[in-house]
Amino acid sequence: MPGPIDYSKLDIHPDYDSKEWWAGTKLHKYLVRQCKDCGHKRFPPGPLCAQCNSFNAGWFETAGKGTIHSYTVIPKGGLPAFAEIGSYVVALIELDDCQGPEGSLVRTCGVLVDDEDAAAIGLPVKVEYEAGPDPEFVFPRWKVSGTAPDAWKFTGE
Ligand SMILES: [Zn+2]
């Protein structure tokens, strides 16, 4: 199991597009941008809809559940906040309730609570929240929440 992340060493400056997202995580809500004109969902939160070029954007509250589309293992943290965590997994996660264009799912990126042994492509994950030292910021982290018959991982063989 990876060690703790030292959130005090992350320097976060929410901007116009991300301040409401951070307000959502504080309430344990995992939000994605949703276009108010065409309904397209997207992450990370940016100002412009890639489907219809509208700036008329709102938010969609996801269920905070998804599937590991891919992942990588970081052997030793590069950022100071990750210096004590040891080896950890960063996953590309397809959000279950966020249909994107042409049948794809909206993807987000997250650090897993679980270690490399628990991670595999195709496994379901759910978001969890960790409080940082600053009460203004609550950090999402993802945990493997089940099994999948078609889960796959590189074994080196
Ligand atoms: Zn749109």
- pLDDT tens for residues 23-61? 999 999 999 999 999 999 999 999 999 999 999 999 999
- What would the mean pLDDT of 3-14 be, rounded to a whole number? 92
Q: Considering only CA atoms, which of 42, 45, 40, 63 is closest in space to residue 125?
A: 63
Domain span including residue 103: 7-144
104 or 134: which leads in pLDDT: 134
Distance 142 CA to ligand 1 centre (A): 28
Residue 109's pLDDT band (cuts 50, 70, 90): very high
Q: Is 13 inside a domain boundary?
A: yes
Task: Encode pLDDT of 82-98 as tens digits.
Answer: 888 889 999 999 999 99
CA distance linking residue 38 with residue 114, whole number of Å? 37
Within 13 A of 101's CA, how many CA atoms are on the CB side? Answer: 9
The rounded Å distance from CA 3 to ligand 1 centre is 40
DSSP 21-43: HHHHHHTT--EEEEETTT--EES
Query: For residue 99, what pLDDT band results from cuts at 50, 70 and 90?
Result: confident
Residue 75 has pLDDT above 90, yes or no: no
Tell me the CA–centroid distance for residue 36 and ligand 1, in Å.
7
Average pLDDT, rounded, for the chain: 92
**Predicted local distance difference test score (pLDDT) of residue 101:** 67
CB atoms within 10 A of CB 103: 6
Q: Supply the pTM of this predicted model.
A: 0.92
Query: Ligand 1 mean position to 41 CA, how many Å?
Result: 8
Q: Identify whether 2 is part of a domain.
A: no
Residue 91 lies in a domain: yes
Q: How far is the CA of 7 from the centre of ligand 1 (A)?
A: 34
105 domain residue, yes or no: yes
Domain count, the chain: 1
**62 belongs to a structural domain:** yes
Q: How far is the CA of 80 from the centre of ligand 1 (A)?
A: 38
CA 131–ligand 1 middle distance (angstroms): 33
Residue 50 resides in a domain: yes
Ligand 1 center–CA 93 separation, angstroms: 22
Cα–Cα–Cα angle for 98, 103, 106, rounded to 5 degrees: 30
pLDDT value at position 77?
A: 65
Phi first, then psi, for residue 101 (nearest 5°) are: -65, 145
CA of 122 to the centre of ligand 1 (A): 29
DSSP 68-121: EEEEEEESS--SGGGTTT-SEEEEEEEEEEEE-GGG-EEEEEEEBSS-GGG--B
Q: Is 74 inside any structural domain? A: yes
**Span from the CA of 42 to the centroid of ligand 1 (angstroms):** 10
- Give a yes or no: residue 119 inside a domain: yes
CA 57 to chain centre: 20
